[in-house]
């Protein structure tokens, strides 16, 4: 059993979390790192609070009270135009201050977003091939399925 927290980008504050929860169930995207037979429990779901992400300073503490073991920054951090410029800072901050591992990504990158992003200069400048390699390694049929 692994207890999971999810922080979403506030640009998608009205999102119902459907793709994240589906990916958690299907063990794809950021959740592909867990064995299929390991139970996952969602113990926290929050948004960053809007640029520059003030909630990131506080919500991990609340998730820790519910036993969180891994925090995922939702795929919305990656697929926005532009991607969140602070995601690596958030990852480093949470891992350093709270000692909780952070995974960038929840559901697979929808293929239609990837097709656009990979043509854009800021995608290359942000070194996404390295930052989110685990998401980019996803089978394109699965990415299409999450369009």
Point out which span in 3-11, 29-37, 64-72, 133-141 binds ligand SF4 (CB under 6 A).
Answer: 3-11
Euclidean distance between CA atoms 147 and 3, whole angstroms:
27
29, 63, 77, 143: residue in contact with ligand SF4 (rule CB under 6 A): 77
Q: What is the DSSP letter of 6?
A: E
Binding track, positions 87-126, relative to ligand SF4; x by CB under 6 A = ----------------------------------------
58, burial (CB in 10 Å: exposed 0-12, middle 13-18, buried 19+)? exposed
Binding-residue total with ligand SF4 (CB under 6 A): 11
Residues in a beta bridge with 14: none
Euclidean distance between CA atoms 27 and 136, whole angstroms:
15
User: Is 53 an interacting residue with respect to ligand SF4 (CB under 6 A)?
Assistant: yes
4, 28, 84, 109: residue in contact with ligand SF4 (rule CB under 6 A): 84
């Amino acid at each position: 059993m692994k207890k999971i927290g999810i922080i979403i980008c506030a640009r998608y504050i009205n999102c119902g979390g459907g793709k994240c929860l589906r990916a958690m169930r299907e063990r794809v995207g950021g959740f592909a790192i867990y064995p299929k037979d390991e139970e996952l429990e969602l113990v926290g779901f929050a948004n960053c609070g809007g640029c520059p992400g003030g909630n990131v300073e506080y919500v991990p503490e609340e998730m820790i009270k519910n036993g969180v073991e891994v925090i995922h920054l939702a795929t919305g951090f990656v697929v926005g135009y532009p991607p969140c410029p602070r995601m690596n800072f958030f990852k480093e901050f949470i891992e350093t201050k709270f000692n909780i591992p952070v995974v960038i990504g929840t559901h697979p990158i929808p293929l239609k977003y990837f097709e656009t992003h990979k043509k854009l200069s800021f995608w290359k400048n942000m070194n996404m091939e390295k930052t989110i390699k685990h998401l980019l390694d996803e089978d394109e049929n699965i990415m299409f399925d999450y369009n």
